Chains A and B, each alone.
Chain A
Amino acid sequence: MTHFAEMTTAMNAAIVDFLADAEADFGNGVVVSGLFRDLPVESFGVISGSKPSFEGLTEVLGAVVVDDTVSIKGVEYVVAEIPRPRDGMTTLILETA
């Protein structure tokens, strides 16, 4: 691992450690800390809703695949999309189950 890659990994770990605001429970005892976002959005301007996502370290979320289920803050979600991980961080785009 290059020095730059080591720095990125350390920095990501520190950021997630400091900013994590939720735990994602994937079942079978797999619980991951990360950043949960659920910003309000409207479909067609007339249907209220939100856009949930969960961001964490790629090294711990790398095995997650689309259609996996996860529980965050008591709500069940399905992983709808996983954009290409960038710089060691992975974002899961979620849909309510």
Chain B
Amino acid sequence: MTTPARRTEIRNAFAAAITGLPTAGGRVFVSRMRPLDSADLPAVLVFSGEDSPEAVLTSGKVLLRSYQLRADILVKERDGAEDTADAVLQEMVAALCASPAAMTLGGKVTSLRYIGAGAAEMDITADKPAVRIPVLFEVKYA
């Protein structure tokens, strides 16, 4: 069995840290490509953002990388979808910033920073209104 790539390890550790929270529960999906059913919601979809070298030696060796993790909050409810998404966001940020250990994803990264949440997007094309809030975090890893 091959060792997972560093990015995969970090993504999975990030997802684990936000799994089991009161509102989204276990509905945290990493790099998921298939559509979600109503039973899968509210949910958080975790996938990669930009990954760039931050400290590089003259030899070309990278000492530190900056890696963005995107967590899209998805809710589909007849009433109060944005309120539920706000609850998921608040719980997620609180869990990731709860302690020094949480902010290093259990030692997997040097640091973790909450960059922010994007504008809430609304969709009323289906049988219930849906809301998506894209949330960005940045981790540093060696």
Binding site for B on A (CB under 8 A): 41-52, 78, 94-97
Contact = CB atoms under 8 A, between A and B. Distances in A.
Nearest to A52: B127
Given A43-B76, A44-B123, A47-B38, 9 more contacts: A42-B126, A43-B130, A47-B126, A49-B127, A49-B128, A49-B130, A78-B78, A94-B127, A95-B127
Nearest to A77: B127
Interface residues of B, number: 20
Contacts of A41: 125-126
A44 B35 CA distance: 10
Nearest to B125: A41
A46 B78 contact: no
Given A47-B74, A47-B76, A97-B78, A42 B35 contact: yes
A52 B127 CA distance: 6
B51 interface: no
